[in-house]
């Protein structure tokens, strides 16, 4: 059973939740009330998606998530949590033993305290998919790099290219004589931000280093297609193409360009221009282009 609830009064929410004790997937949007209101009823919940949601403090957020022992997917978009001086002590060794997917997009909270809670409970060791499109402080990227390097189960990582610290710290922690023994990352995705020359250089260095030998797919999310296809960025992308096609990435199979907004320039000529710019991928059948969810090049 799946459910979706929008903003309402706490009493109304509690009555609604009481009628759905067996729900397994829930999307909750535009709500601001104390999280103890009814969520403890969801003993079978495996997927929780919070959108435009507010918590009085980070501990309120942690109390809610920690009470959902069967949770496998946690997705937070435009979620905010107030400050707290310390995080709550876990009541069990691992309150979320089944957590596999963690998705944060435009989340405002104390990332350091949240990841401390994750580390205390060893949840980072069994994540399969980690998405972080929030504004991340530089030091926080060290934690992301450590998750990539030590988690043998992580298959998908999505980050904002506007924060190349994550990739830089991953490079800094990599020793070619002692490569990451557990890294099995298959899919790398870059969120909806502009790609400047510095970011492209970091990406090129990352792929040249051989840090991610198991990578199969690279996905980039694009809003401004005109900016993305400007001549000055093409040389950077061409260097990245060369590295992805090298013997350092024997499993590489797909380069996905996901255009999120349709513009006047995305006519037939625009699609042809994308294929032209990424001809090496297109000629080998490795290029995939999506425009507003519709595949136009496969």
* Residue 278 · residue 241 · CB < 8 Å: yes
What token pair was written down for 103? 């998705």
Q: Where are the domains of the chain?
A: 1-127, 179-298
Supply the CATH classification number for the domain 1-127: 3.80.10
pTM, two decimal places: 0.81
Distance, CA of 137 to CA of 111 (rounded, Å): 9
Q: Residue 252: name the closest of 222, 219, 213, 223 by CA.
A: 213
Per-residue pLDDT in tens (0 to 9) along the chain, 298 residues: 454 444 445 566 666 666 776 788 888 776 655 555 556 677 788 999 998 888 888 888 888 888 888 899 999 998 888 877 666 665 555 567 888 998 988 887 776 777 777 777 677 778 899 888 765 555 566 667 777 766 778 899 888 755 555 666 666 665 665 555 567 889 988 875 567 777 788 788 888 887 788 899 999 888 877 777 776 677 788 888 889 999 889 999 999 988 887 766 666 677 888 888 888 888 888 999 888 878 888 6
Distance, CA of 43 to CA of 181 (rounded, Å): 37
């Amino acid at each position: 059973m799946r459910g979706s609830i929008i903003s309402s009064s706490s009493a109304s929410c509690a009555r609604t939740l009481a009628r759905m004790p067996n729900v397994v997937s829930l999307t909750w949007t535009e709500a601001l009330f104390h999280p103890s209101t009814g969520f403890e009823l969801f003993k079978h919940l495996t997927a929780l998606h919070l959108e435009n949601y507010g918590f009085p403090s980070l501990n309120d957020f942690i109390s809610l998530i920690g009470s959902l022992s069967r949770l496998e997917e946690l997705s937070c978009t435009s979620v905010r949590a107030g400050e707290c001086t310390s995080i709550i002590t876990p009541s069990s060794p691992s309150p979320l033993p089944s957590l596999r997917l963690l998705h944060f997009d435009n989340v405002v909270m104390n990332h350091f305290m949240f990841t401390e809670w994750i580390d205390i409970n060893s949840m980072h060791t069994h994540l399969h998919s980690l998405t972080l499109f929030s504004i991340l402080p530089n030091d926080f990227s060290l934690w992301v790099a450590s998750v990539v390097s030590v988690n043998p189960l992580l298959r998908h990582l999505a980050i904002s290219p506007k924060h190349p610290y994550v990739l830089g710290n991953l490079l800094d922690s990599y020793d070619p004589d002692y490569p990451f023994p557990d890294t099995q990352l298959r899919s790398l995705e870059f969120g909806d931000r502009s790609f400047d020359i510095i970011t492209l250089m970091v990406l090129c260095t990352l792929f040249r280093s051989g840090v991610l030998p198991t990578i199969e797919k690279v996905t980039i999310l694009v809003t401004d297609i005109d900016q993305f296809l400007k001549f000055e960025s093409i040389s950077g992308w061409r260097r990245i193409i060369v590295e992805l096609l090298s013997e350092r990435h024997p499993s590489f199979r797909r380069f996905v360009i996901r255009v999120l907004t349709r513009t006047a320039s995305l006519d037939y000529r625009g699609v042809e221009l994308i294929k032209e710019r990424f001809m090496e991928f297109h000629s080998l059948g490795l290029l995939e282009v999506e425009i507003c969810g519709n595949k136009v090049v496969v």
